[in-house]
Structure 1
Amino acid sequence: MARSILGLAVLLGVVPLAGCAKTTVSSLAIASAPIRQSAPTSLAIVVTVAPELGADDNAVSAAHRLQEALLASYRKAGLQVSIASPAAPVLSSAVVRVEIRRADPGSRLERMLIGFGAGRSALQTETRLELAGGSNVAMGFSTTTKSGRKPGLVLPGVVAAGTGKLIGLALGGGTGLLAEAGGGLDRSVKRAANTIVSQTRNFYRSAGWPWPAGSSAARRN
């Protein structure tokens, strides 16, 4: 029976599952005053959620995961970095403050079955780089990361014409496909972290500061 259902799905329009996420940077602003100080010797990370998202479990979880991802990415780049509390004084020579503005995990089932943007996850952040002794933000920008628009397992017409058995087949026999469909905001968090580190690297270079050579972030971007 399962074989006949699978055959029906192929005839009606099964396409290979593919996943892709895109991160965009907007509202990029860099302080106009020339930077005369030397490169920061230490970097602190502060990740928070927007006040209106304080009770949103998805946003709180994404903030925690983004904090850990940033810590790992900056360390992999060769920088001395630590986690700082939003309420505590920052003792590092620079601080990266990231605020989660949106954290929507979307629908994993819709991404897996339909694709083409259905069930997309979305993560929006606002980042500020502050230097010790500076009165203004040295750099600020926003990032938006969304899961891809590529086809899912079944074309939209099949979902309308399909049955619960077809969906059950996808869930019961396609756990590998479900994994490829992405786990909510996990990939978005990683991509956002890579983008924030990449923008930090660009700022270092614009200020004439050395950036650790051969880092993974430098090779990817």
Structure 2
Amino acid sequence: MKRRLLAMLAFGFAAGAFAQDSPSKAHIRFIFENPKLQPSTYVIDINEDGTGHFQSQTGTAPTADTEGITAEPLDVDIRIVDPLLGFLFKTARSHNFFDVACESTRAKMAFTGKKALMYTGPDGDGSCTFNWSRDQQIMKIADSLIATAYTLQVGQRLTLEHEHNRLGLDTELESLQEAVKQGQAQQLQNIAPQLQSIANDENVMERARNRARQLLNGEKAG
């Protein structure tokens, strides 16, 4: 419990809401923080029924890409589906509700972001914080949720590009297809509306529309 409270305090704005969550339902929170990235901090909340929420904050790092698209805070409801959903809660329960020493003791590990996993529910609660963990299941969760956050951020850029820079959509979608192939973008159902809007827009170049359709259909990029 002490580690859980320390972790929550260390991540500032994210702590309060989690502490107020009802323990009658199982709930997982993932927090990521790296001031050198945009967004610098984000929180993913996931209920056992798959409903959830994503909230990000921008930091002091540059916020605009080469096309002038500016990163903005994102605050959206999400849905997490199997197999990731089941893996999250199974792993939490097999790891004492994340009340474990998950940080690696290896010296001189490169900093990839401060991460916290928190679980609360009728069966228990706990948390751990880490940069990198020796536990492969813990790292798989972190990698999968970071990939989910990446998908949501791409969805935000797709919306902006569809409105202001349609010529940039093909490159953005090509990058997303490659990220999906590499496992660096996951849970694409959360940006299906953006992809469908692009696929349906006759004012968007056909190649970009085809990429959007492929992503919607779960097809692998060629």
- Is TM more than 0.5 here? no
Larger radius of gyration: 1
TM-score if structure 1 supplies the norm length?
0.29
Larger relative contact order (C-alpha < 8 A, sep ≥ 6)? 1
Compare the two structures and name the one with the higher strand fraction.
1
Q: Which has the higher helix share?
A: 2
Question: If the length of structure 2 is used for normalisation, what is the TM-score?
Answer: 0.29
